[in-house]
Amino acid sequence: MGLMLDTGSTSLEERWTRLMSALGRPEDMEWNGDLESMARDLVFDSLNPLSVTFAVNGARENARQVREEISSEQWQRLNRLFHQMHSPHAQAQFRTSINDALASIIDGIHLFKGVSDTTMIHGQGWQFIRLGRYLERAYATATLLEIYQPHLLGEHERDHSGYQYLEMVGLLRCCTSFEAYCQVYTADVSPDRILEFLLLNEDFPHAIRYTVDGMRDAVNAIQRTGGRRASDELIAVIGRLQASLGYTTINEILAGDTAAFLHKIREECTRIHDLIYRYYVQYSIQSALAV
């Protein structure tokens, strides 16, 4: 959203289209020329499944249903974020400064994550939170890379103008990874290095390789803490994805079809989601007794 304020060679419409692509290309969110009203709907419209408020409402309802499994600090932190999203002050702040309003919401999400990690027993419930977080993060990062790939990563001959530098920094900031990237590669931002960092780095929490390793650890931990034994199919899908990231190099990825590689990661994440839901959430009594 911060890039929308830049008057570079990329139009507002193009950047909005890119944002909508990351959200699954909803039909009712086409660009109408009014950035402020469209951004406000994307944040505060409680009836829009893509909005921040809709997501916070859903998170609070889910937490209410498992209230006895989470800490009081988690519940209080989530309630504060819920009331923040519904307060007149939040919309007034949004009108005054979009960046400040969004930063305040992000801070609330980070605080909830921190409270969850420090006040919840690291048992089966916490491992499921980790599993969901890593799966969503892997899918979101792969989606962003696939969307940006034709514009920034697909044409190595493209002039490295100031506009492109802003776009690349914007991509890194979307993944909260600009400072971490600079620690590894310095501030010399290049498309190939961004792809390598966000795909293959094993130490950065938002890199896809790190999140897939985290998924495997979480599934194993769920089994150790008394959960159902993970299905062979689920372990196989995560293992193949883990191997495809652990035993490849950025040069091999760039020499092949980069877009197809990124799309395959998204497909595998969707399959992992379906298997988790089928095996841990929506399973028959007979299958549970058979394990």
- Average pLDDT in the chain: 87
Tokens 């008394």: give the residue. Answer: 226
Q: What is the mean pLDDT of residues 68-87?
A: 95
129 and 116 share one domain: no
Enumerate residues 6+ apart whose C-beta is below 8 A from 215.
131, 134, 135, 138, 238, 272
Global confidence as pTM: 0.86
Residues 272, 240 contacting (CB under 8 angstroms)? no
pLDDT at 208: 97
- Using the 3D structure, point to which of 120, 153, 173 is the last residue of a domain: 120
222 and 250 share one domain: yes
| pLDDT confidence band for 195 (50 / 70 / 90) | very high
Boundaries of domain holding 198: 121-291
61 and 98 share one domain: yes
262 and 126 share one domain: yes
Tokens 């897939």: give the residue. Answer: 212
137 and 99 share one domain: no
137 and 271 share one domain: yes
252 and 139 share one domain: yes
134 and 81 share one domain: no
- Using the 3D structure, point to which of 87, 120, 153 is the last residue of a domain: 120
Total number of domains constituting the chain = 2
| pLDDT confidence band for 9 (50 / 70 / 90) | very low
28 and 163 share one domain: no
147 and 60 share one domain: no
How many other CB atoms are found less than 10 A from the CB of residue 111?
15
